[in-house]
Structures are given as structure tokens and as C-alpha cells.
Amino acid sequence: MTQSLHIAVIAAHPRRRSFTLAMATAFADACRADGAVVEVRDLYRLGFDPRLRAREMPDHPGYAPRADVVRERQAIGDASVFALFYPLWFNAPPAMLKGYVDRVFGMGFGYSPIQRGGNQPLLVGRRLVSFTSSGAPQDWVERSGAWAAMQKQFDEHLSLMTGLKIEGRHNFGAIGPGLAPIRFKECCAEVDRRARRLTASHTPTA
């Protein structure tokens, strides 16, 4: 029996009718059209709580993830690709997404402790791809140093801790109110191309 590609689309934007959610939908639709199994986690509509509680911290006696974290880990646990969709606020991920990573991708899912200190990545062999948007043009985001800093502090550290392979990161710059329809269609087409490239790289197992 052929095993389908499982993809978890994790989207963070407070507005349902947003550029972020539109891109996440376009990506999910393209992946499903190519036979992938897609689980969409719309964090704001789920009412996810990004706040890490004291009892969730691994060094707390009786440490245990809360029920909402357990549900999320069950929902995305079979994914071989994690696709993040979010806007850049102050050139960084929104608190909602950062809190999701802190709570869901933490101890017991993204990594486990090993003897003599350090951590053992638990998501080796799986992939990470990110789609972001910014009000500033992409060249400004790069010239300001924000692009390199964010990749180092967020993507690369997440990869280091969990073992996820960074498949790619794409930012849509100069996104704001009054976005021209032709520009919106171009962005959808770009997401579609990248989604199909991702599914095409999947090697089914029998």
C-alpha cells in the first residue's frame, strides 16, 4: 500500500480573510490536488493559547503537557512536512506562532533530553517550509538584516533543536491594504508552484 505525503499547515493570522490564510489555503489545495493528506491548523480560529505555563516547563516537578498541546501533537504527529504561514510583525513571527512552537514543538515532541545534558532531536527526516509576508518590500527586509537574523534565530534554531530539514522560506514583500488583484494572483501561483514542487519530491513507500 502506497503511503501518502502528510503535511501539517500551521497558519497564524487574527483575520480569517487575510493574505496569510489565503496563501495557506492555496498551498493546502495544491498539495491535496497532488494526493497529499493535509491537516490545517488555523491557530486563531482554534483559539490556541500560546502562553507556556509553569507546569509545562520541563524542569518543573511533575512536568506534563496540557490537554490542548496533547491534541495538537496528535493532530500533526504524522506529518512529514510542516508548513508555516504567518505575517512578519516587528520582523519576527507573531506571538501566537512563537507560543505554538514553544508549547507544541517542545520536550516530548520536537526533542527529548539525553544523558550528560543536551537534547535529542525527534523530528529527523521531516521537513520545514515557511511562507511569510511583510508590509516592507523584500529588499528592505534583507538590507535591514532582519531576514538573516530571523532565519538564524527562528528557522535554524528550530531545525537544530528538532532535526527538521529546512526545505525553504519564502517572503512576500510589500503586502498591505489595496493589494492589486494581479499581484494577489501571482502570489497564489507562486505558492501553488512551491507546493507542487514539494509534493513532487516525495518518494512514496510501499
Which of 11-15, 29-33, 78-82, 176-180 comes out lowest in average pLDDT?
176-180
Q: Which of these, 9, 30, 160, lies nearest to 81 by C-alpha position?
A: 9
Q: Is 189:26 a contact under the CB 8 Å cutoff? A: no
Is residue 98 included in any domain, yes or no? yes
The answer to whether position 139 is within a domain reads yes
Q: For residue 151, is it within any domain?
A: yes
The DSSP bridge pattern shows strands 111-113 and 81-87 to be: unpaired
Cβ count near 79 (within 10 Å): 21
| Burial of 32 per CB tally in 10 Å (0-12, 13-18, 19+) | middle
Whether residue 206 is contained in a domain is answered as no
Confirm whether 127 is domain-assigned.
yes
pLDDT in tens, 170-179: 999 999 999 9
CATH no. for residue 21? 3.40.50.360
Instruction: Calculate the alpha carbon distances from 118 to 48, 107, 112, 114, 115 in Å.
Output: 29, 12, 9, 6, 7
Q: Is residue 205 part of a domain?
A: no
Asked, for residue 147, whether it belongs to a domain, the answer is yes
Q: Strand, helix or coil at 97?
A: helix
Number of structural domains in the chain:
1
Mean pLDDT of 65-84: 96
| Residues 36-66 pLDDT 10s | 999 999 999 999 999 999 888 887 777 889 9
Instruction: Detail the DSSP E strand segments found in 65-202.
Output: 81-87, 111-113, 119-121, 127-133, 165-172
Per residue in 109-166, pLDDT (tens digit) is: 999 987 677 789 999 999 999 999 999 999 999 999 989 998 999 999 999 999 999 9
Query: In terms of residue numbers, what domain contains 181?
Result: 6-200
Query: Is residue 159, in this structure, part of any structural domain at all?
Result: yes
Q: Is residue 182 pLDDT above 50, yes or no?
A: yes
pLDDT at 97: 97
Question: Could you tell me which of 138, 140, 131 has the C-alpha nearest to residue 193?
Answer: 131
DSSP secondary-structure letter at 56?
Answer: G
CA–CA gap between residue 55 and residue 148 (Å, rounded): 34
